[in-house]
């Protein structure tokens, strides 16, 4: 059997006619008398194989014919171009080895029939093998790779931030508290930003990329309690720099997915003309203008209020590409935002709302760089100044205007894949009512 070279299904086209083997799992099986058509997946793709009774040892034919869904199997044979096949190739079977046969008594629980969402997410450890989930996580991988490539090739240094933190970054209402040693309390990080501000002063431009946590009590299609965020931070930078970098990042990332993940987008039946429209420049509007648009569209919003999910959807439906909304009322934003010099009641912050009603994917802006003002803001927000001494220090030793943002990876994946709900964007989602498996 060593004559058969192990290949991946994705590379089938480079090995037509050669003796090869693929190692995978039985995805589906069709039979028609003396011919069987096992569909095999190996993680790189799926392929239909063809087994003809007259050309195979009887035991091999029978074993394949009675194989159960998701049994692990190695198939040996030859690849052949087949225009009608999904992926363009079929494999003619010459031999097979069953690695583990799934028993009939305890069959694979996910069948081609429709299952409820709760059931599928209870079976998430298996659900990930389905074609749709596979496509989504491949696109997630592509997005993460693109994000890293973008920052790495634009002068940013990756400096990751701690997960156990002594203080809140994004308000005290969504903090997860953890018992540390000897009665000390710490919190799971909501954002690496405060630490990024320290690393930006050391590296000029830095970013972190890691898990962040929010005790979000809301059950929405956009909120996870644990999500991954990429956060760049730049010294000697302002709100306009944030908008420029955010726009470049999104255009680059969407371009990469269109370039490399056409098959997966097709599996998801994504309308790619919507993605192709995502080009610079993105429309830029102020919070004031956004409120006007929303009122016109029948929203109850009044100046001073934060946008709800519905408002974000209404706004982003106005444009065929992401829209940048800046200068929110300082009162609805976190303590660290720099006030606009000419109009201190608004913050130099920006949210990027994705197109097609997906809402906020990026939030960021310019930080307070004056020591006294920052101390005042910390007090105004009833935050404990002791916990922020190191952060205040950054305003003592060579403080400069600086700015940055955070992009939620799952929000980006949800939007680019065109999903109904954020829970599909991560292998094992954590939400208000879901911490398992």
- Site residues (vs ligand 4AD, CB under 6 A): 169-170, 191, 193, 214, 216, 223-224, 227, 229, 231, 360-364, 404-408, 410-411
For residue 229, the partner it binds in Mg ion, ligand 4AD, none, with Cβ less than 5 to 8 A by kind, is: ligand 4AD
Q: How far is the CB of 363 from Mg ion (least distance, A)?
A: 3
Q: How far is the CB of 195 from ligand 4AD (least distance, A)?
A: 10
For residue 214, the partner it binds in Mg ion, ligand 4AD, none, with Cβ less than 5 to 8 A by kind, is: ligand 4AD
* Nearest residue (CB) to Mg ion, 411 versus 423: 411
Burial class (CB in 10 A: 0-12, 13-18, 19+), 116: exposed
Establish whether the linkage from the previous residue to 281 is cis, with ω within 30° of 0: yes
Q: How far is the CB of 430 from ligand 4AD (least distance, A)?
A: 10
* Nearest residue (CB) to ligand 4AD, 176 versus 371: 176
Q: How far is the CB of 344 from ligand 4AD (least distance, A)?
A: 20
208 DSSP 8-state letter:
E
* Nearest residue (CB) to ligand 4AD, 24 versus 404: 404
E strand residue ranges, 202-251: 205-213, 226-235
Q: How far is the CB of 392 from ligand 4AD (least distance, A)?
A: 17
231 and 182 in contact (C-beta within 8 Å)?
A: no
* Nearest residue (CB) to Mg ion, 64 versus 323: 323
Q: How far is the CB of 117 from ligand 4AD (least distance, A)?
A: 18
For residue 429, the partner it binds in Mg ion, ligand 4AD, none, with Cβ less than 5 to 8 A by kind, is: none
325 and 365 in contact (C-beta within 8 Å)?
A: no
Phi, psi of 139 (to 5 degrees): -70, -40
Q: How far apart are CA 300 and CA 297, in angstroms?
A: 9
Q: How far apart are CA 307 and CA 363, in angstroms?
A: 13
For residue 142, the partner it binds in Mg ion, ligand 4AD, none, with Cβ less than 5 to 8 A by kind, is: none
The two three-digit tokens of residue 425, written as one number: 């964007």
For residue 64, the partner it binds in ligand 4AD, Mg ion, none, with Cβ less than 5 to 8 A by kind, is: none
Cβ neighbors of 177 (< 8 A, separation 6 or more) are 185, 186, 187
* Nearest residue (CB) to Mg ion, 363 versus 429: 363
Q: How far apart are CA 89 and CA 83, in angstroms?
A: 7
Which residues, listed in sequence order, are joined to residue 274 by a DSSP beta bridge?
none
Of 24, 363, 365, 404, the one binding Mg ion (CB under 5 A) is 363
Coil/strand/helix, residue 137:
helix
Q: How far is the CB of 118 from Mg ion (least distance, A)?
A: 29
Q: Which stretch binds Mg ion (CB under 5 A): 121-129, 196-204, 299-307, 357-365?
A: 357-365
Q: How far apart are CA 181 and CA 143, in angstroms?
A: 38
* Nearest residue (CB) to ligand 4AD, 24 versus 339: 339
Neighbouring C-beta atoms of residue 382, cutoff 10 Å: 8
For residue 291, the partner it binds in Mg ion, ligand 4AD, none, with Cβ less than 5 to 8 A by kind, is: none
Judged by CB under 5 A, the number of residues near Mg ion is: 1
The two three-digit tokens of residue 111, written as one number: 């069948």
Report the chain's C-alpha Rg in angstroms.
26
Q: How far is the CB of 411 from ligand 4AD (least distance, A)?
A: 4
For residue 160, the partner it binds in Mg ion, ligand 4AD, none, with Cβ less than 5 to 8 A by kind, is: none
CB-closest chain residue to Mg ion: 363
Q: How far is the CB of 323 from Mg ion (least distance, A)?
A: 14
Q: How far apart are CA 146 and CA 156, in angstroms?
A: 14
For residue 193, the partner it binds in Mg ion, ligand 4AD, none, with Cβ less than 5 to 8 A by kind, is: ligand 4AD
198 and 223 in contact (C-beta within 8 Å)?
A: no
Q: How far is the CB of 24 from ligand 4AD (least distance, A)?
A: 33
For residue 165, the partner it binds in Mg ion, ligand 4AD, none, with Cβ less than 5 to 8 A by kind, is: none
235 and 400 in contact (C-beta within 8 Å)?
A: yes
Residue with tokens 């009603």: 357
* Nearest residue (CB) to Mg ion, 89 versus 287: 287
Q: Measuring CA to CA, how many Å separate 317 from each of 251, 275, 302, 322, 411? A: 19, 14, 20, 9, 16
Q: Which residues bind Mg ion (CB under 5 A)?
A: 363
């Amino acid at each position: 059997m060593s004559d058969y070279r192990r290949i991946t299904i994705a590379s089938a086209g480079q090995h037509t006619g050669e003796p090869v083997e693929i190692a995978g799992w039985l995805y589906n099986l069709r039979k028609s008398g003396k011919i069987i058509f096992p569909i095999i997946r190996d993680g790189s793709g799926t392929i239909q194989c063809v087994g003809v009774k007259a050309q195979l040892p009887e035991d091999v034919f029978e074993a394949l014919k009675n194989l159960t869904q998701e049994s692990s199997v190695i198939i040996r044979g030859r690849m052949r171009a087949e225009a009608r096949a999904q992926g363009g190739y079929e494999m003619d079977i010459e031999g097979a080895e069953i690695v583990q046969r799934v028993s009939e008594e305890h069959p694979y629980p996910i069948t081609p029939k429709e299952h409820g969402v709760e059931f599928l997410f209870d079976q998430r450890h298996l659900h990930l093998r389905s074609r749709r989930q596979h496509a989504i996580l491949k696109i997630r991988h592509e997005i993460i790779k693109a994000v890293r490539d973008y920052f790495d090739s634009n002068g940013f240094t990756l400096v990751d931030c701690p997960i156990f933190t002594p203080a809140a970054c994004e308000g005290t209402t969504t903090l997860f508290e953890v018992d540390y040693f000897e009665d000390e309390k710490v919190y799971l990080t909501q954002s690496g930003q405060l630490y990024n501000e320290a690393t930006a002063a050391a590296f000029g431009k830095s970013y972190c990329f890691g898990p962040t946590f929010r005790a979000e009590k809301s059950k929405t299609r956009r909120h996870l309690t644990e999500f991954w965020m990429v956060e760049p931070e730049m010294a000697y930078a302002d709100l306009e720099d944030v908008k420029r970098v955010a726009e470049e990042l999104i255009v680059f990332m969407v371009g990469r997915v269109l370039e490399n993940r056409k098959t997966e987008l097709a599996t998801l039946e994504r309308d790619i003309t919507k993605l192709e429209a995502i080009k610079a420049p993105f429309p830029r509007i102020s919070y004031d203008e956004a409120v006007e648009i929303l009122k016109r569209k029948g929203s109850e919003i009044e100046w001073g209020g934060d946008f709800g999910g519905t408002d974000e959807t209404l706004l982003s439906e106005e444009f065929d590409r992401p829209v940048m909304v800046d200068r929110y009322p300082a009162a609805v934003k976190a303590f660290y935002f720099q006030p606009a010099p000419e109009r201190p009641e608004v913050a130099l912050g920006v949210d990027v709302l994705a197109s097609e009603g997906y809402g906020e994917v990026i939030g960021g802006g310019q930080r307070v760089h004056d020591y006294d003002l920052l101390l005042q803001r910390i007090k105004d927000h009833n935050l404990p100044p002791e916990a922020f001494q190191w952060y205040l220090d950054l305003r003592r030793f060579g403080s400069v205007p600086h700015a940055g943002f955070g992009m939620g990876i799952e929000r980006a994946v949800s939007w680019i894949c065109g999903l109904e709900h954020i829970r599909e964007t991560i292998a094992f989602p954590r939400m208000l009512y879901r911490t398992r498996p």
